[in-house]
């Protein structure tokens, strides 16, 4: 919007003001109306009744609905990973993506998604569940 305002040699602040006065489809009110409780004066013709303060009671409810809708779209491709048990053989994702995955044995569960894993080389690693993959390989600690 600021690029368009500069290209047409208009004041970018007026363009921003008009944008903030535009009501959103979900809530039915503009950001300025939610902040100040009324519309602000612009160069666009506006009736004086629209410039008087008014409170909208259902804005919080509509905001919660909008956030729930966004969360639903964001989470639609996710799945819950199974818990790992002590003694399970896993592959550990390294911190550097170019290195190969290490083989390890589940030691303990630290928190909801965090696990301690003992690697074949004897090192103890703490990893998130998404960085661990179950495997049916044999485990040979050094």
> Which of the listed residues 58, 76, 101 is the one where a domain comes to its end?
58
Report whether pLDDT(14) > 70.
yes
Is residue 141 assigned to a domain?
no
Range of 104's domain? Answer: 89-134
Per-residue pLDDT of 35-81, as tens digits, reads 887 778 777 777 777 777 776 677 778 889 989 999 999 999 888 88
**pLDDT for the residue numbered 55:** 67
How many domains does the chain divide into? 2
Report whether pLDDT(106) > 80.
yes
**pLDDT for the residue numbered 71:** 95
For the full predicted model, state whether its pTM sits above 0.75: no
CA distance readout (Å), 119 to 100, 104, 116, 124 = 13, 4, 10, 6
**pLDDT for the residue numbered 6:** 83
Phi, psi (deg, nearest 5) at residue 96: -100, 125
| Cα Rg, the chain, nearest whole Å | 28
In angstroms, the CA 43 to CA 10 distance is 12
Is residue 27 assigned to a domain?
yes
**pLDDT for the residue numbered 89:** 94
> Which of the listed residues 13, 41, 58 is the one where a domain comes to its end?
58
Query: Residue 30: which pLDDT band, with cuts at 50, 70 and 90?
Result: confident
Is residue 104 assigned to a domain?
yes
Query: Residue 32: which pLDDT band, with cuts at 50, 70 and 90?
Result: confident
Is residue 72 assigned to a domain?
no
Write out the DSSP string of 81-132. Answer: PPPP-TT-EEEE--SSTTSPPEEEEEEEE-SSSEEEEEETTS-EEEEEGGGE
Kind and range of the H or E run holding 134 = strand 132-134
In angstroms, the CA 116 to CA 98 distance is 22
């Amino acid at each position: 919007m600021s690029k368009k305002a500069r290209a047409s040699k208009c004041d970018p602040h007026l363009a921003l003001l008009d944008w903030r006065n535009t009501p959103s489809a979900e809530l039915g009110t503009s950001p300025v109306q939610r902040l100040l409780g009324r519309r602000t004066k612009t160069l666009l013709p506006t009736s004086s009744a629209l410039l008087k303060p008014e409170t909208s009671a259902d804005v919080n409810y509509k905001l919660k609905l909008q956030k729930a809708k966004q969360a639903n779209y964001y989470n639609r491709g996710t799945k819950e990973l199974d818990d790992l048990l002590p003694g399970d053989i896993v592959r550990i994702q390294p911190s550097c993506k170019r290195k190969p995955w290490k083989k390890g044995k589940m030691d303990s569960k630290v928190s909801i998604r965090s696990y301690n894993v003992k690697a074949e080389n004897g090192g103890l690693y703490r990893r998130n569940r998404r960085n661990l993959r179950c495997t049916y390989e044999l485990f040979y600690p050094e």
